[in-house]
């Protein structure tokens, strides 16, 4: 394996070198970096031109300028990168740090959401092949995949930002809106749960009735301006997660898995009350990340200790319960901060920028500000990526499900959940790993349009500015990040293959 990795890294360096030379030559020959100054009538035009020539080393041959850039990149191996300056003399290192942090915050979240929801939808549609749910999801995914990014972004701005901001000032639902929402929710739920016609009718009636009663009640309680889960809400939902995860994994009758999950849910319920003041007065990102790490480590230990021969499954279910329960606790405190946030920012969903300038809220309000700025571009990138993940997962699951070992597992009487998640799904992950690896790098490069529409100062803006100003250093910084990400994640996908399927190691 080590020899394989070294060989792949060597080939990757050769590819990066060749591509960087080609890109550098194309950029410097795409226009005149002094064109705006040549047309200027300023008295100090000659001084400004000379200053730009010095900043961009335009008095040197292109290969010397490229070599200077390559030498600076080589210093990255010693953690002392020097990517030069832009035409104004600003360090590319500082620009890249700001741009990369902005874009990665967007891309990582969108990729994670697309993976989770896409794979889940793909598994569900494969299990329910040729059902109404399968056809509906197929139509929706192809619709999302074909959406023009700029057009979808305009729709999101209009309805999820401007429209929502107008509505949230005085949240209300008219009779027609309640009926429409209740009918749509009931229809979708009966399609999702399926079953006999009698079961579908009951599901539709119960769901529609619930929404018809809940929406006016929530409006009367001003829940949309003052939402809360509360201690009881977090506890109930966490226990529901424990039961659901156990049922999906091995069934609730397996006490070796059920008990660790329930103990984890109880711990989450106790900790959220005990640490209330910490969440309110002392919370920061270090505490939050540390808390999430503990929410995974402690349940893992509980599951491994109590799971017996099911210790791997018990640990996984317990970790899922702990992490989701911790997430619900965070959501509850975000809800508690929402009224104060609306007081500081009456129109909460922003359409431009990655954060509000000079925003002076506390930790939770600042988190809400950055989250609402992140909402629209994340939704846009997620729904576009969702299509490919769900379709590839479905196709891969259907292909694996026809294999002999799946039929053997069913003939041995194994529960269907075991056949799907422990036998079929693991072997269906290989093509998904390939897509995820390339999609991450592609999203960094493909977020150029999204960042422009939503006014994010990220990698896309850095790339566009470099091209527009015929300045190679910003463009090369963009190439360095995206190219390296593509190659490294492709290598990680190859290693992941060997973890999923031991035969590949040979």
Q: How far apart are CA 128 and CA 137, in angstroms?
A: 11
Report the alpha-carbon distance of residue 191 to residue 203 in Å, rounded. 9
For 390, the 3-state DSSP assignment is: helix
> What does the alpha-carbon distance between residue 277 and residue 379 come to, in Å, rounded to a whole number?
33
> Cα angle at 124 between 121 and 126, to 5 degrees?
105
List the chain pLDDT tens, one digit each, 506 residues. 677 777 877 888 888 889 899 999 999 988 888 888 887 777 788 888 888 888 888 888 888 999 998 898 888 877 788 888 888 888 888 888 888 888 878 888 888 888 888 888 888 888 888 888 888 888 888 888 888 888 888 889 999 899 999 999 889 898 999 999 999 999 988 888 877 889 889 999 999 999 999 999 999 988 999 998 889 999 999 999 999 999 888 888 889 999 999 999 999 999 999 988 888 888 888 999 999 999 999 999 999 999 988 888 899 999 999 999 999 999 999 999 999 999 888 889 988 877 777 787 889 999 998 888 888 988 888 888 888 888 888 888 888 888 888 888 888 887 777 788 777 887 787 778 777 777 776 666 656 778 888 888 888 888 888 888 888 999 999 888 888 887 887 777 777 777 766 666 54
pLDDT score at 446: 56
What CA dihedral angle connects 440, 446, 450 and 453, to 10 degrees? 160
Quote the tokens at residue 294: 């503990």
Residue 329's pLDDT is 94
Phi, psi of 121 (to 5 degrees): -65, -40
Half-sphere exposure in the Cβ direction for 233 (13 Å, CA): 12
Q: Residue holding tokens 């909402």? A: 375
Give the span between the Cα atoms of 3 and 483, in whole angstroms. Answer: 22
Please give the structure tokens belonging to residue 254.
């397996």
Distance CA 477, CA 270 (A): 48
Residue 325: which of 287, 362, 296 has the closest Cα? 296
Instruction: Check the CA dihedral 141-143-148-153 and report its sign.
Output: negative
Residues 250/285, Cβ–Cβ less than 8 Å: no
Beta bridge partners of 85: 91
Structure tokens at 35: 């064109």
Q: Which of 49, 31, 30 is nearest to 39 (CA)?
A: 49
pLDDT of amino acid 327: 93
Q: Closest by alpha carbon to 322, among 300, 305, 290?
A: 300
Smallest CA-to-CA distance from 87 within 473, 488, 449, 409 is with: 473
Largest CA distance in the chain: 88
Asked if 436 and 493 touch (Cβ cutoff 8 Å), the reply is yes
- The number of C-alpha atoms within 13 Å of 189 and in the hemisphere containing its C-beta is 18
User: Measuring CA to CA, how many Å separate 249 from each of 125, 126, 169, 170, 256?
Assistant: 19, 18, 43, 44, 12
Closest CA to 250 of 318, 349, 195, 297: 318
Instruction: Show Cβ contacts of residue 189 under 8 Å, excluding neighbours closer than 6 positions.
Output: 203, 204, 207
pLDDT score, position 364: 92
Nearest CA to 337 among 361, 358, 355?
A: 361
CA angle 421, 440, 490 (to 5 degrees): 80
C-beta of residue 104 within 8 angstroms of C-beta of residue 443: no
Instruction: Give the predicted TM-score (pTM) of the model.
Output: 0.82
Name the residue among 234, 147, 263, 137 with its Cα closest to residue 188.
137
In order, the DSSP letters of 9-40 are HHHHHHHHHHHHHHHHHHHHTSS-TTHHHHT-
Tokens of 125: 């549609």
Residues whose CB falls within 8 Å of the CB of residue 125, separated by 6 or more in sequence, listed in order: 133, 134, 137, 138, 390, 394
């Amino acid at each position: 394996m080590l020899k394989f990795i070294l060989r792949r890294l060597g080939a990757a360096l050769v590819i990066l070198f060749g591509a960087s030379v080609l890109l550098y030559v194309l950029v410097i020959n795409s226009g005149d970096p002094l064109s705006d100054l040549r047309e200027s009538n300023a008295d100090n035009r000659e001084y400004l031109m000379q200053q730009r020539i010095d900043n961009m080393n335009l008095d040197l041959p292109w290969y010397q300028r490229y070599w200077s850039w390559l030498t600076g990149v080589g210093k990255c191996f010693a953690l002392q990168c020097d990517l030069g300056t832009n035409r104004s003399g600003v360090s590319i290192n500082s620009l890249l740090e700001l741009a990369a942090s902005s874009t990665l915050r967007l891309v990582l979240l969108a990729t994670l959401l697309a993976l989770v929801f896409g794979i889940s939808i793909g598994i569900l549609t494969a299990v329910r092949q040729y059902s109404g749910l399968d056809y509906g999801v197929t139509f929706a995914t192809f619709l999302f995949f074909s959406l023009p990014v700029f057009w979808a972004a305009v729709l999101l701005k209009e309805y999820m930002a401007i429209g929502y901001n107008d509505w949230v000032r005085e949240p209300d639902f008219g009779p027609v809106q309640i009926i429409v929402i209740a009918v749509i929710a009931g229809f979708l739920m009966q399609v999702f749960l399926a079953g006999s016609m009698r079961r579908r009718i009951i599901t539709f009636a119960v769901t529609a009735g619930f929404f018809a009663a809940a929406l006016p009640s929530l409006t009367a309680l001003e829940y949309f301006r003052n939402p809360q889960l509360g201690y009881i809400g977090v506890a109930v939902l966490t226990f529901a997660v424990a039961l659901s995860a156990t049922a999906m994994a091995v069934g609730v009758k397996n006490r070796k898995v059920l008990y660790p999950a329930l103990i984890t849910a109880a711990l989450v319920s106790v900790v959220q009350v005990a640490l209330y003041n910490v969440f309110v007065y002392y919370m920061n990102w270090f505490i939050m990340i540390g808390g999430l790490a503990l929410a995974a480590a402690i349940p893992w230990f509980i599951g491994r200790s109590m799971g017996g021969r099911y210790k791997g499954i018990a640990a996984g279910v317990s970790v899922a319960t702990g992490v989701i329960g911790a997430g619900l606790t965070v959501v509850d405190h975000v809800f508690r901060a929402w009224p104060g946030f609306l007081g500081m920012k009456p129109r909460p969903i922003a359409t431009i920028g990655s954060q509000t300038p000079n925003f002076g809220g506390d930790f939770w309000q600042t988190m809400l500000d950055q989250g609402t700025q992140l909402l629209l571009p994340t939704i846009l990138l997620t729904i576009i990526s969702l299509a490919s993940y769900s379709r590839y997962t479905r196709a891969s699951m259907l292909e694996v499900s026809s294999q002999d070992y799946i039929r053997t597992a069913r003939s041995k009487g194994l529960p269907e959940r075991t056949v799907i998640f422990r036998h079929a799904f693991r072997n269906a992950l290989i093509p998904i790993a390939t897509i995820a690896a390339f999609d991450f790098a592609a999203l960094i490069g493909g977020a150029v349009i999204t960042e422009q529409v939503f006014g994010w100062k990220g990698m896309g803006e850095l790339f566009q500015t470099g091209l527009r100003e015929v300045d190679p250093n910003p463009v090369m910084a963009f190439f360095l990040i995206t190219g390296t990400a593509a190659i490294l994640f492709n290598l990680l996908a190859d290693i992941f293959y060997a973890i999923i399927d031991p035969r590949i190691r040979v």
